[in-house]
Protein backbone atom coordinates (compact mmCIF):
# COMPACT_ATOMS: atom_id res chain seq x y z
CA UNK A 1 0.00 0.00 0.00
CA UNK A 2 1.28 3.46 -0.89
CA UNK A 3 2.14 5.55 2.16
CA UNK A 4 0.23 8.68 3.11
CA UNK A 5 1.80 12.05 2.31
CA UNK A 6 0.92 15.60 3.34
CA UNK A 7 1.57 19.17 2.23
CA UNK A 8 0.92 22.47 4.03
CA UNK A 9 0.08 25.58 2.00
CA UNK A 10 -1.65 28.94 2.44
CA UNK A 11 -4.10 29.35 -0.45
CA UNK A 12 -5.95 32.13 1.38
CA UNK A 13 -3.99 34.72 3.39
CA UNK A 14 -3.92 33.74 7.05
CA UNK A 15 -5.55 30.35 6.42
CA UNK A 16 -3.50 27.17 6.14
CA UNK A 17 -4.45 24.03 4.27
CA UNK A 18 -3.11 20.62 5.21
CA UNK A 19 -3.61 18.32 2.23
CA UNK A 20 -3.34 14.58 2.82
CA UNK A 21 -2.86 12.27 -0.14
CA UNK A 22 -4.32 9.03 1.11
CA UNK A 23 -3.77 5.39 0.12
CA UNK A 24 -7.52 4.96 -0.17
CA UNK A 25 -10.25 5.64 -2.70
CA UNK A 26 -10.58 9.21 -1.37
CA UNK A 27 -7.29 10.21 -3.10
CA UNK A 28 -6.89 13.39 -1.06
CA UNK A 29 -8.60 15.45 1.62
CA UNK A 30 -8.06 18.92 3.07
CA UNK A 31 -7.89 19.89 6.72
CA UNK A 32 -8.02 23.63 7.39
CA UNK A 33 -6.26 25.76 10.01
CA UNK A 34 -8.28 28.94 10.61
CA UNK A 35 -8.15 31.65 13.27
CA UNK A 36 -10.81 31.99 15.93
CA UNK A 37 -12.08 35.30 17.25
CA UNK A 38 -9.69 34.80 20.17
CA UNK A 39 -6.74 34.70 17.77
CA UNK A 40 -6.04 31.01 18.39
CA UNK A 41 -6.02 28.25 15.79
CA UNK A 42 -8.99 26.05 14.95
CA UNK A 43 -8.77 22.93 12.79
CA UNK A 44 -11.64 22.04 10.45
CA UNK A 45 -11.75 18.29 9.70
CA UNK A 46 -9.18 15.66 10.55
CA UNK A 47 -8.70 13.20 7.64
CA UNK A 48 -8.46 9.54 8.69
CA UNK A 49 -6.09 7.71 11.02
CA UNK A 50 -4.26 5.60 8.45
CA UNK A 51 -0.81 4.30 9.41
CA UNK A 52 1.86 6.97 9.08
CA UNK A 53 -0.45 9.96 9.49
CA UNK A 54 0.60 10.88 13.06
CA UNK A 55 4.09 12.28 12.27
CA UNK A 56 2.59 14.30 9.43
CA UNK A 57 0.16 15.90 11.85
CA UNK A 58 2.98 16.54 14.32
CA UNK A 59 4.99 18.30 11.62
CA UNK A 60 2.06 20.48 10.56
CA UNK A 61 1.19 21.37 14.14
CA UNK A 62 4.80 22.20 14.87
CA UNK A 63 4.74 24.86 12.18
CA UNK A 64 1.99 26.88 13.85
CA UNK A 65 2.71 30.03 15.85
CA UNK A 66 0.42 28.99 18.67
CA UNK A 67 -1.69 26.14 20.03
CA UNK A 68 -4.78 24.62 18.46
CA UNK A 69 -7.72 25.56 20.64
CA UNK A 70 -10.61 23.72 18.95
CA UNK A 71 -11.24 20.98 16.38
CA UNK A 72 -14.37 21.22 14.20
CA UNK A 73 -15.88 18.31 12.26
CA UNK A 74 -18.09 18.97 9.24
CA UNK A 75 -19.50 15.44 8.91
CA UNK A 76 -19.04 11.80 9.85
CA UNK A 77 -17.54 10.46 6.61
CA UNK A 78 -14.26 8.66 7.29
CA UNK A 79 -11.95 11.14 5.56
CA UNK A 80 -13.32 14.00 7.68
CA UNK A 81 -13.99 12.56 11.14
CA UNK A 82 -11.58 9.61 11.01
CA UNK A 83 -8.64 11.39 12.67
CA UNK A 84 -10.59 13.38 15.26
CA UNK A 85 -9.51 11.38 18.31
CA UNK A 86 -5.88 11.34 17.16
CA UNK A 87 -5.75 15.11 16.55
CA UNK A 88 -7.40 15.72 19.92
CA UNK A 89 -4.69 13.63 21.57
CA UNK A 90 -1.94 15.52 19.76
CA UNK A 91 -3.33 18.98 20.54
CA UNK A 92 -5.31 18.60 23.74
CA UNK A 93 -8.11 20.54 22.02
CA UNK A 94 -11.81 19.66 22.31
CA UNK A 95 -13.67 18.29 19.29
CA UNK A 96 -16.90 19.96 18.14
CA UNK A 97 -19.35 17.89 16.08
CA UNK A 98 -22.99 18.24 15.08
CA UNK A 99 -25.45 16.59 17.45
CA UNK A 100 -27.27 14.56 14.79
CA UNK A 101 -24.03 13.94 12.88
CA UNK A 102 -22.47 12.36 15.95
CA UNK A 103 -25.47 10.01 16.22
CA UNK A 104 -24.89 9.01 12.59
CA UNK A 105 -21.17 8.66 13.25
CA UNK A 106 -21.75 6.10 15.99
CA UNK A 107 -24.11 4.11 13.75
CA UNK A 108 -21.69 4.20 10.82
CA UNK A 109 -18.52 3.28 12.70
CA UNK A 110 -19.54 1.62 15.98
CA UNK A 111 -22.84 -0.21 15.36
CA UNK A 112 -22.21 -3.92 14.65
CA UNK A 113 -25.67 -4.27 13.12
CA UNK A 114 -25.18 -1.58 10.49
CA UNK A 115 -23.58 -3.93 7.96
CA UNK A 116 -26.55 -6.31 8.04
CA UNK A 117 -29.02 -3.44 7.63
CA UNK A 118 -26.98 -2.19 4.68
CA UNK A 119 -27.15 -5.65 3.11
CA UNK A 120 -30.96 -5.57 3.43
CA UNK A 121 -31.13 -2.16 1.73
CA UNK A 122 -28.92 -3.34 -1.12
CA UNK A 123 -30.96 -6.51 -1.63
CA UNK A 124 -34.23 -4.57 -1.64
CA UNK A 125 -33.02 -2.40 -4.52
CA UNK A 126 -31.39 -5.13 -6.62
CA UNK A 127 -27.70 -4.72 -5.79
CA UNK A 128 -26.00 -8.09 -6.48
CA UNK A 129 -25.13 -10.03 -3.32
CA UNK A 130 -21.54 -10.81 -4.40
CA UNK A 131 -20.78 -7.17 -5.17
CA UNK A 132 -22.38 -6.19 -1.88
CA UNK A 133 -20.12 -8.54 0.08
CA UNK A 134 -17.03 -7.10 -1.66
CA UNK A 135 -18.12 -3.48 -1.14
CA UNK A 136 -18.89 -4.07 2.54
CA UNK A 137 -15.47 -5.68 2.98
CA UNK A 138 -13.83 -2.47 1.67
CA UNK A 139 -15.99 -0.48 4.06
CA UNK A 140 -14.86 -2.63 7.00
CA UNK A 141 -11.21 -2.02 6.12
CA UNK A 142 -11.83 1.72 6.07
CA UNK A 143 -13.80 1.52 9.31
CA UNK A 144 -10.83 -0.02 11.11
CA UNK A 145 -8.92 3.24 10.56
CA UNK A 146 -11.67 5.63 11.72
CA UNK A 147 -10.90 7.15 15.11
CA UNK A 148 -13.81 9.48 15.80
CA UNK A 149 -13.89 11.25 19.15
CA UNK A 150 -16.13 9.41 21.63
CA UNK A 151 -17.22 12.51 23.53
CA UNK A 152 -17.29 15.64 21.37
CA UNK A 153 -18.90 18.95 22.25
CA UNK A 154 -22.25 18.70 20.44
CA UNK A 155 -23.37 21.70 18.39
CA UNK A 156 -26.29 22.70 16.19
CA UNK A 157 -27.04 25.25 13.48
CA UNK A 158 -27.00 28.76 14.88
CA UNK A 159 -24.33 28.06 17.49
CA UNK A 160 -21.08 30.02 17.42
CA UNK A 161 -17.64 28.54 18.04
CA UNK A 162 -14.96 31.15 18.68
CA UNK A 163 -16.44 33.51 16.11
CA UNK A 164 -17.41 30.84 13.54
CA UNK A 165 -21.16 30.47 13.00
CA UNK A 166 -22.50 26.91 12.56
CA UNK A 167 -24.69 26.24 9.50
CA UNK A 168 -26.50 23.03 8.55
CA UNK A 169 -26.28 21.94 4.89
CA UNK A 170 -27.68 18.39 4.57
CA UNK A 171 -27.47 16.31 1.42
CA UNK A 172 -23.99 14.84 1.11
CA UNK A 173 -24.48 13.78 4.72
CA UNK A 174 -27.69 14.38 6.68
CA UNK A 175 -26.01 16.24 9.55
CA UNK A 176 -23.39 18.05 7.45
CA UNK A 177 -22.24 21.30 9.05
CA UNK A 178 -20.24 24.23 7.69
CA UNK A 179 -18.61 27.07 9.60
CA UNK A 180 -18.77 30.74 8.57
CA UNK A 181 -16.83 33.78 9.70
CA UNK A 182 -16.79 37.09 7.86
CA UNK A 183 -16.99 36.10 4.17
CA UNK A 184 -15.31 32.67 4.51
CA UNK A 185 -17.17 29.34 4.72
CA UNK A 186 -15.35 26.17 5.75
CA UNK A 187 -17.75 23.89 3.94
CA UNK A 188 -16.48 20.30 3.98
CA UNK A 189 -18.10 18.52 1.03
CA UNK A 190 -21.08 20.83 0.48
CA UNK A 191 -19.41 22.50 -2.50
CA UNK A 192 -16.47 21.27 -4.60
CA UNK A 193 -14.71 23.11 -7.39
CA UNK A 194 -14.67 20.55 -10.23
CA UNK A 195 -16.45 17.37 -9.24
CA UNK A 196 -19.90 17.25 -7.69
CA UNK A 197 -20.29 15.95 -4.13
CA UNK A 198 -21.92 12.54 -3.96
CA UNK A 199 -25.53 12.65 -2.78
CA UNK A 200 -26.26 9.11 -1.60
CA UNK A 201 -29.47 7.55 -0.40
CA UNK A 202 -28.16 5.07 2.14
CA UNK A 203 -28.90 3.86 5.67
CA UNK A 204 -28.50 7.29 7.25
CA UNK A 205 -29.51 9.77 4.57
CA UNK A 206 -33.24 10.09 5.16
CA UNK A 207 -35.85 9.70 2.41
CA UNK A 208 -34.90 12.62 0.15
CA UNK A 209 -31.20 13.52 0.31
CA UNK A 210 -31.16 15.13 -3.14
CA UNK A 211 -34.05 17.40 -2.19
CA UNK A 212 -32.20 18.27 0.99
CA UNK A 213 -29.04 19.04 -0.97
CA UNK A 214 -30.68 21.27 -3.55
CA UNK A 215 -32.26 23.26 -0.71
CA UNK A 216 -28.80 23.48 0.91
CA UNK A 217 -27.36 24.96 -2.28
CA UNK A 218 -30.07 27.62 -2.24
CA UNK A 219 -29.29 28.49 1.38
CA UNK A 220 -25.58 28.67 0.63
CA UNK A 221 -26.24 31.18 -2.15
CA UNK A 222 -28.40 33.21 0.25
CA UNK A 223 -25.61 33.14 2.84
CA UNK A 224 -23.32 34.65 0.21
CA UNK A 225 -19.77 33.70 1.23
CA UNK A 226 -16.99 35.14 -0.91
CA UNK A 227 -14.71 32.15 -0.39
CA UNK A 228 -15.42 28.47 0.29
CA UNK A 229 -12.79 26.21 1.84
CA UNK A 230 -13.73 22.75 0.52
CA UNK A 231 -12.80 19.30 1.75
CA UNK A 232 -11.29 18.43 -1.63
CA UNK A 233 -9.94 20.25 -4.69
CA UNK A 234 -9.36 24.00 -5.00
CA UNK A 235 -10.60 26.96 -2.98
CA UNK A 236 -13.85 28.26 -4.51
CA UNK A 237 -13.86 32.03 -5.03
CA UNK A 238 -17.29 32.27 -6.69
CA UNK A 239 -19.47 29.99 -4.57
CA UNK A 240 -22.82 31.21 -5.93
CA UNK A 241 -21.79 30.44 -9.49
CA UNK A 242 -20.50 27.00 -8.52
CA UNK A 243 -23.68 26.22 -6.58
CA UNK A 244 -25.69 27.06 -9.68
CA UNK A 245 -23.52 24.79 -11.82
CA UNK A 246 -24.00 21.88 -9.44
CA UNK A 247 -27.77 22.43 -9.28
CA UNK A 248 -27.79 22.39 -13.09
CA UNK A 249 -25.78 19.17 -13.09
CA UNK A 250 -28.38 17.46 -10.92
CA UNK A 251 -31.20 18.70 -13.14
CA UNK A 252 -29.46 16.99 -16.03
CA UNK A 253 -28.82 13.86 -13.99
CA UNK A 254 -32.50 13.67 -13.05
CA UNK A 255 -33.34 13.73 -16.75
CA UNK A 256 -30.82 10.95 -17.41
CA UNK A 257 -32.25 8.80 -14.63
CA UNK A 258 -35.82 9.30 -15.84
CA UNK A 259 -34.74 8.43 -19.39
CA UNK A 260 -32.95 5.31 -18.15
CA UNK A 261 -36.18 4.02 -16.62
CA UNK A 262 -38.22 4.85 -19.72
CA UNK A 263 -41.41 2.82 -19.94
CA UNK A 264 -40.14 -0.35 -18.28
CA UNK A 265 -39.70 -0.95 -14.53
CA UNK A 266 -36.10 -0.95 -13.33
CA UNK A 267 -34.60 -1.34 -9.89
CA UNK A 268 -31.98 1.09 -8.66
CA UNK A 269 -29.08 -1.20 -9.52
CA UNK A 270 -30.28 -1.71 -13.10
CA UNK A 271 -30.75 2.03 -13.52
CA UNK A 272 -27.28 2.71 -12.12
CA UNK A 273 -25.69 0.53 -14.79
CA UNK A 274 -27.21 2.80 -17.45
CA UNK A 275 -26.51 6.12 -15.70
CA UNK A 276 -22.99 5.19 -14.50
CA UNK A 277 -21.68 2.61 -16.98
CA UNK A 278 -18.03 3.26 -16.12
CA UNK A 279 -18.14 2.36 -12.42
CA UNK A 280 -16.37 -1.01 -12.27
CA UNK A 281 -14.88 -1.58 -8.82
CA UNK A 282 -17.33 -2.81 -6.16
CA UNK A 283 -17.04 0.31 -4.00
CA UNK A 284 -17.43 2.59 -7.06
CA UNK A 285 -20.46 0.62 -8.14
CA UNK A 286 -21.90 1.00 -4.64
CA UNK A 287 -21.47 4.79 -4.75
CA UNK A 288 -23.08 4.88 -8.21
CA UNK A 289 -25.97 2.83 -6.89
CA UNK A 290 -26.57 5.14 -3.92
CA UNK A 291 -26.40 8.21 -6.16
CA UNK A 292 -28.87 6.72 -8.63
CA UNK A 293 -31.20 5.73 -5.81
CA UNK A 294 -31.28 9.28 -4.43
CA UNK A 295 -32.30 10.58 -7.86
CA UNK A 296 -34.93 7.87 -8.35
CA UNK A 297 -36.50 8.67 -5.00
CA UNK A 298 -36.43 12.41 -5.72
CA UNK A 299 -38.38 11.76 -8.93
CA UNK A 300 -40.81 9.34 -7.27
CA UNK A 301 -41.55 11.69 -4.36
CA UNK A 302 -42.50 14.40 -6.86
CA UNK A 303 -44.66 12.19 -9.06
CA UNK A 304 -42.26 12.07 -12.00
CA UNK A 305 -41.72 8.31 -11.56
CA UNK A 306 -43.71 5.64 -9.77
CA UNK A 307 -42.13 3.57 -7.03
CA UNK A 308 -43.37 -0.03 -7.11
CA UNK A 309 -43.01 -1.97 -3.85
CA UNK A 310 -43.41 -5.70 -4.51
CA UNK A 311 -44.80 -8.21 -2.05
CA UNK A 312 -41.33 -9.76 -1.63
CA UNK A 313 -39.91 -6.45 -0.39
CA UNK A 314 -38.06 -5.51 -3.57
CA UNK A 315 -38.48 -2.07 -5.15
CA UNK A 316 -38.61 -0.95 -8.77
CA UNK A 317 -39.36 2.34 -10.53
CA UNK A 318 -41.41 2.97 -13.64
Convert the pLDDT of each residue in 46-67 to its tens digit. 999 999 999 999 999 999 999 9
In the predicted model, is pLDDT for residue 24 greater than 70?
no
- CATH homologous superfamily of 5-111+149-256 equals Ribonuclease Z/Hydroxyacylglutathione hydrolase-like (3.60.15.10)
Instruction: Summarize pLDDT for 135-175 with one digit per residue, the tens.
Output: 888 888 889 999 999 999 999 999 999 999 999 999 999 99
| pLDDT score, position 70 | 98
With bands split at pLDDT 50, 70 and 90, how would you rate the model's confidence at 26? low
Range name among 25-39, 148-162, 190-204 with the lowest pLDDT average: 25-39
| pLDDT score, position 77 | 97
Which of the 8 DSSP states describes residue 201? -
Q: Which helix (H) or strand (E) holds 188?
A: strand 184-188
Q: Which helix (H) or strand (E) holds 315?
A: strand 315-317
In the predicted model, is pLDDT for residue 2 greater than 70?
no
| pLDDT score, position 197 | 97
* Mean pLDDT for the stretch of residues 176-181: 98
Mean pLDDT over all residues of the chain?
Answer: 95
Considering the entire predicted model, what is its pTM? Answer: 0.96
Q: Which helix (H) or strand (E) holds 76?
A: none
| pLDDT score, position 1 | 44
CA 177 to chain centre: 10
Instruction: Summarize pLDDT for 96-132 with one digit per residue, the tens.
Output: 999 999 999 999 999 999 989 999 999 999 999 998 8
**Closest residue by Cα to residue 149 from 212, 222, 93, 209:** 93
Contact 208, 298 (CB under 8 A): yes
Q: Which helix (H) or strand (E) holds 291?
A: helix 282-301
| pLDDT score, position 140 | 86
Phi/psi at 7 (5° precision): -145, 135
Amino acid sequence: MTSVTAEVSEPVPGIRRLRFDLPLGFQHVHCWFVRGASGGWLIVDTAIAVPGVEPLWESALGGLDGPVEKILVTHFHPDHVGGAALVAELTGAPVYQGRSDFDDCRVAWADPGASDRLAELLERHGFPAKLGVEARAVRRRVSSQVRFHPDPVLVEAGDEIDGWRVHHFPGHAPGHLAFARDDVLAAGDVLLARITPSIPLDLLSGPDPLGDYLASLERLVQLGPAVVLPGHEDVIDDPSRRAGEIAGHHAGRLGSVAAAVGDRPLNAYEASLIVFPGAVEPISRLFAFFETLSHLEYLALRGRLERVDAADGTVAYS
